[in-house]
Amino acid sequence: MYRFLLTPRWWGINLFVVLAIPFCVFMGTWQLGRFEDRVQSHEQAEKQPDPSTRAAKPLDELLPVDKVTSGRPAIATGTYADQFLVPGRELDDRQGFYVLNMLRTDTGKALPVVRGWLPGSASSAEAPPAPQGEVTVTGDLQASENMNSDGANARGGLPEGQVGIISAASLLNLVDYDVYNAWVTLPEAEAGGAGGAMKPVPAAAPQGSGLDLKAFQNLGYTGEWFVFAAFVLFMWFRLVRREAETMRDVALGLIPDEPASAGASPEATRAEDTGAEDTRAVAGR
């Protein structure tokens, strides 16, 4: 009864099933591994002490930024240069903007420093100027942002003096000197001056170190791939069963072996029958 499984048509169906099920299982396992990695990273991050409580170190000793050095206090000395505003940034459930200044160091590179946050729309008139002369800053180290970072604006089209993403790639297009592939945020308000009106911007946890929405997306994708594998197997069994039942009915004579094509009109069927009778009559003569 099941010899039809060896026909060319069924060879194609069987090959698809044999390839599809392992692929779905592999993808589901891979997504599950991604979720488990994020859970493990989250657990490790919780066991580690708060990076901001660790001793400050010179900037160059903490680069490049990774999950271990992210949030660590970094020390840098230099002179403030260009100032930019970073609009569309939220703090304490309020919309506002960052005030970012480029700290030119003795190495020839500039370190982006987020001096603070102000509420409302980005306005250069409201942003306090940076301190003059050589300064030494201690800020929480952060990796360059990307389009997936919270608040990042990758669409462009911002007014002059504003930047949507805090990254070396975006800032290099606005200044004529090298930029560190990192930035720092000052944990405390600047002492004295108009800078004291700005609120400090807390350091963000490194991407991929917490149970964020992406982690649960990985878990959801895991279930989807396993459902796909089960669906392929279910449909294969259903097709086999239907084919076997059809062949059984043909063998029992319940349905003709070659039924008339669907949709043929009664007139066409009668014409075929009349033609067949004429042919038999001629043959009888």
With 0-12 / 13-18 / 19 or more C-beta atoms within 10 angstroms meaning exposed / middle / buried, residue 253 is: exposed
Model confidence pTM above 0.75 = no
Cis peptide before 64 (omega within 30 of 0): yes
* pLDDT tens column, 183-239: 999 998 776 555 558 999 998 877 655 556 677 888 899 999 999 999 999 999 998
> In whole angstroms, what is the distance from residue 148 CA to residue 151 CA?
9
H-type alpha helices, 53-177 = 59-62, 168-171
- Strands 73-91 and 57-58 turn out to be parallel
pLDDT above 90: residue 254: no
> In whole angstroms, what is the distance from residue 238 CA to residue 142 CA?
55
* pLDDT tens column, 44-90: 656 555 555 678 899 999 999 988 888 899 999 999 999 999 999 99
- Closest to 228 in 3D by CA, of 33, 21, 35: 21
- Closest to 3 in 3D by CA, of 242, 238, 244: 244
DSSP-assigned states of every residue in 5-47 = GGSHHHHHHHHHHHHHHHHHHHHHHHHHHHHHHHHHHHHHHHH
Distances (CA, A) of 227 to 9, 213, 217, 236: 26, 21, 15, 14
Q: Which pLDDT value is given to residue 114?
A: 96
* pLDDT tens column, 126-171: 899 999 999 999 999 999 999 888 888 888 789 999 999 999 999 9
* pLDDT tens column, 17-44: 999 999 999 999 999 988 888 777 766 6
